[in-house]
Amino acid sequence: MTLNEIKASDKTMLTPTDVAEVLRADPQDVRIAAKRCPERLGFNVAVIGTRVKIPRLAFIRWMEGTNEIAI
């Protein structure tokens, strides 16, 4: 997916495969990083068993450099 496709999506959560193209990374590398040291990714992740989920809006804010939460 591209960043524009992610922005247009109605998904609440993304997968490593969804964000890999935007990050120019292998989806498996995103999974490994999320499990080993999620704080180094720069965006929030949820690891549930073997699954990794990424909040779409938080990822967009991180990509745009606007990590503050809009109220």
- How many CB atoms lie under 10 A from the CB of residue 44? 17
Question: Going by C-beta distance under 8 Å and a sequence separation of 6 or more, which residues neighbour residue 55?
Answer: 12, 13, 14, 43, 44, 46
Amino acid 32: pLDDT: 95
Amino acid 71: pLDDT: 43
What does the mean pLDDT of the chain come to? 91
35-60 pLDDT per residue, tens = 999 999 989 999 999 999 999 999 99
The Cα 8–Cα 43 span in angstroms is: 19
Q: Is 50 left (phi over 0), alpha (psi -120 to 50) or beta?
A: alpha
Whole-structure pTM value? 0.85
Query: Which domains occur in the chain, in start order?
Result: 3-64 (3.90.105)
Q: Which of 3, 24, 27, 14 is nearest to 53 (CA)?
A: 14
Amino acid 18: pLDDT: 96
Q: Please give the average per-residue pLDDT across 62-66, as a whole number.
A: 89
